[in-house]
Chain A
Amino acid sequence: MIEATGLSKRYGETVAVDDLSFIVPPGQVTGFLGPNGSGKSTTMRMIIGLDSPTAGVVTVNGRRYGEYIRPLLQVGALLDARAIHGGRSAYNHLLWLALSNGIARRRVDEVLDQVGLRSVATKRVGGFSLGMSQRLGIAAAMLGNPSILVFDEPVNGLDPEGVLWFRTLIKSLASQGRTVLLSSHLMSEMAITADRFIIIGRGRLIAQTSVEELLARGDGGFVLVRSSQASALAAMLKNRGATVECQTDGTLRVTAMTTETVGAIAADIAIVLMELSAHSPSLEATYMQLTGDSVEYRTSDGASASDER
């Protein structure tokens, strides 16, 4: 479990993170989403004690990261896969990490196997591709068998096969009861992997929801109903609090009500339905809509290169 309360971080004039509070629960993959520059990496650095918050606190398993003598047994993090000394072998990189937290050497071989780097273990990491470096970083994160895993933009640089492997891996890690926090600026990447989302824009919390709740928040989502007694049904649905729009083809476009409720109401008043379907907006569209006005740099309209500050 990761818990942030009122977390803020300024770098001089820049407010990178602004009064952010959230919880990352165990047993799920939580997607940490936000446009570039919205403060995801900064938040993650604060989680693992690298940057100190200007205000607020963030705890991992109930304590601040810096209080652990052997933090790798609690939290495994991969922030930047390239940020390692190129002159060291993969094995030795993991070995010093293991030694630093009193972790058995055997774990080094185990995680190397787990990420498929056994055959290049003695090669210097300077020669690794970005994908191999990512795998090494993931191995390092798993070294202490931690209950919390934090990954910053982990699939950048992985090939499609690697992406699939990584998704399967983190889903299995979450299903073992671990807490997984995964950042990305792309919803398309997260929609398949995450169970929950924390969405930020310009350092502020925009949403903290499950996939279902997020979909419900988007405009665009509606229930389509076709019935020979459309006007009677419409009146009843409105009565029960739904917003109903009669469309030109005679169908009803119902919002603020689920298909289940619409069906149940129709059954109650014995109205025959010819069609009852939910039309979800894509997560992508909802995400764009939520973060639309917090994007730092726009490219499409060219009107303003930056709408912040």
Chain B
Amino acid sequence: MQTIPDDITRHSRHSLTAGLGDTLRAEFCKLRSVRSTYWTLFAALAFNVTFAAVEAIFLPGRLSEHDKATLDGVRVSLGGSHLSQIAFSVLGVLFIASEYTTGMIRVTLAAVPRRRLVLTAKVTVFAATAVVAGIAVSFIAYFVFQGLLRGENLRSSIGDPGVVRALIGGGLYLAVLGLLGLGLGAIIRASAGAIAALFSLLFVPQVLVQLLPDSWKTAIGPYVPMEAGSQIFSQHREAGALSPWVGFAVFSLYAGIAVIIAFVLIDRRDA
């Protein structure tokens, strides 16, 4: 049986993107053919909607004068994201680390030997899915919150300045967190280890910063991952915090570093 010329890389012509379409289709097929994808996204939606509903119903009656002046209604409506971020990041970890844990990565890399192509496809497919799902979750949570809210406190309208930015940003935050999970999953190559690393990265700095002297706290505090990233949830900028997009950029940098390390390592290690 003879070699079919079409199956061979012509390095000079299209070595970087050849096969990208096929690989994207394959990775999207993988993502949608396991139940865990649907469960984690459903859990994220349930967290956000439940949280928004509970806050809309019970929070207005408990507001102090100070709260009324300072609380950001959009941020409150996205409060469930602190839980649904766990679902998104676990989904990101599992999308790659489960292949290492089960050993299926060898089947994947035998099918697509150019490993960075596999990682590119995984990142793209995951990012696209998570951005769509994350933005949908944010908007639904917002409308549930506003719909159940009584009285004028915390109320806003979708047309108000900063609201749409905060809601889209809320979705992007979830997606970027998922990419951080994906990057860590590809580096650590084991689901449990990557999830532990991810939670350490998210929650440990948050706690440690509280233990620092005040001057350090104000200097470092805004840059810890969750603090920086979650500024985009707010309609109005908080004092001492980074601006929404700068905070989001800092947050994305953490995920970006993890993904870049994953790209470097995947070609260097045996599968």
Partner of A26, one of B1, B7, B103: B1
State whether A92 touches B33 (Cβ < 8 A).
yes
Specify which of A45, A66, A92, A99 is in contact with B270 (CB 8 Å cutoff).
A45
Give min CB distance, B48 to chain A, whole Å: 25
> Contacts A49-B113, A73-B4, A100-B26 given; 19 further ones with Cβ under 8 A?
A26-B1, A49-B109, A50-B271, A63-B3, A68-B7, A68-B8, A71-B111, A73-B7, A80-B106, A85-B99, A86-B102, A87-B35, A95-B29, A96-B27, A96-B30, A99-B26, A99-B29, A101-B111, A178-B1
Most buried by B among A50, A86, A178: A50
The binding surface of chain B is classed by DSSP as: helix
Which of chain B's residues 87-143 have a Cβ closer than 8 Å to chain A? 98-99, 102-104, 106-114
Instruction: Please determine whether A80 and B271 come into contact, CB atoms closer than 8 angstroms.
Output: no
Q: Does A237 contact B (CB under 8 A)?
A: no
Q: In the assembled complex, how far is the CB of residue B115 from the closest CB belonging to chain A, in whole angstroms?
A: 9
B33 touching A88 by the CB < 8 A rule?
A: yes
Q: With an 8 A cutoff between CB atoms, is B9 at the interface?
A: yes
Q: Is the CB of B22 within 8 A of A71?
A: no
- Other-chain contact of A101, B22, B102, B106, B114 (Cβ < 8 Å): B22
- Distance from B142 Cβ to chain A, minimum over Cβ atoms (Å): 33
Specify which of A66, A75, A96 is in contact with B26 (CB 8 Å cutoff).
A96
The answer for the CA separation of A51 and B4 in the assembled complex, in Å, is 25
> How many A residues touch B, CB cutoff 8 Å?
45
Q: Is the interface of A mostly helix, strand, loop or mixed?
A: loop
**Interface CB pairs A-B, < 8 A, 5:** A49-B109, A52-B270, A62-B3, A69-B19, A77-B110
- Asked whether any CB of chain A lies closer than 8 Å to the CB of B69, the reply is no
Total interface residues in chain B, CB < 8 Å: 37
Q: Which residues of A contact B103 (CB under 8 A)?
A: 80, 82-84
Q: Does B239 contact A (CB under 8 A)?
A: no
- Interface pair B109/A68, CB less than 8 Å apart: no
Q: Which residues of B contact A84 (CB under 8 A)?
A: 102-104, 107
Give the CA-CA distance A88 to B33 in the complex, in Å.
6
Closest to B268 in A: A52
Q: Which 8 A-B pairs have the closest CB atoms?
A: A83-B103, A147-B1, A100-B26, A92-B33, A96-B29, A51-B270, A50-B271, A66-B113
Please judge, given known A-B contacts A83-B102, A97-B111, whether A69 and B7 are in contact too, CB under 8 Å.
Answer: yes
Determine if B29 and A71 form an interchain contact, defined as CB atoms under 8 angstroms apart: no
Q: Is the CB of A99 within 8 A of B25?
A: yes
CB distance A71 to B7 under 8 Å? yes
Contacts of A26 in B (CB 8 A): 1
